[in-house]
Amino acid sequence: MKPHFLFPTWMRWLGLCLFFVHLPVMHIWDMYHIHSAPSDTGMFSSGHLFFILTIVLMVSGLFLIAFARERIEDEQIYQLRLSSLRWAIFANYAILVICLVFTTNKADYKDMLRLNLWVPLVLFIIIFRYKIFRLNRSLKPEQ
């Protein structure tokens, strides 16, 4: 089997930590409207840097979860991974086209681009984990 560029298995746990650290931080950020001070202007304002840092934490966490090696990585897992990625991309673009058709506000386009950062990874993780679950369930001997 050809070697594939995947992260070690333990990186999935690091990715989960990064992702779950991001959730309460962004919730607090939105709840208390902690944005940059009026004197902060430009690209390196404190609010902008905080926003970029949390987005990078979330996306890198999802990336580590999605592309961490399984304990047993063989051709079947590789095919499941490839199929899941294909369906995640198809679903992501279907959602994106539907959102583009029904969007009327210009501010919504920015939100769609932000969602497009993490939705393909989340869809891939969900589809891949579901396929792994089905595979493990079919391999278990009936009791």
The pLDDT tens digits of the residues spanning 74-133 come to 888 999 999 999 999 999 999 999 988 888 887 777 778 888 888 999 999 999 999 999
**Residues 42-60: what's their mean pLDDT?**
77
CB-based contacts of 79-86 (< 8 A; 24+ apart in sequence): 80/128, 80/131, 80/132, 80/135, 81/128, 83/131, 84/124, 84/127, 84/128, 84/131, 85/124, 85/128
Indicate the pTM of the whole model. Answer: 0.81
> Is pLDDT above 90 for 29?
no
pLDDT for the residue numbered 109: 78
> Is pLDDT above 60 for 48?
yes
Residue 39 confidence class, pLDDT cut points 50, 70, 90:
low
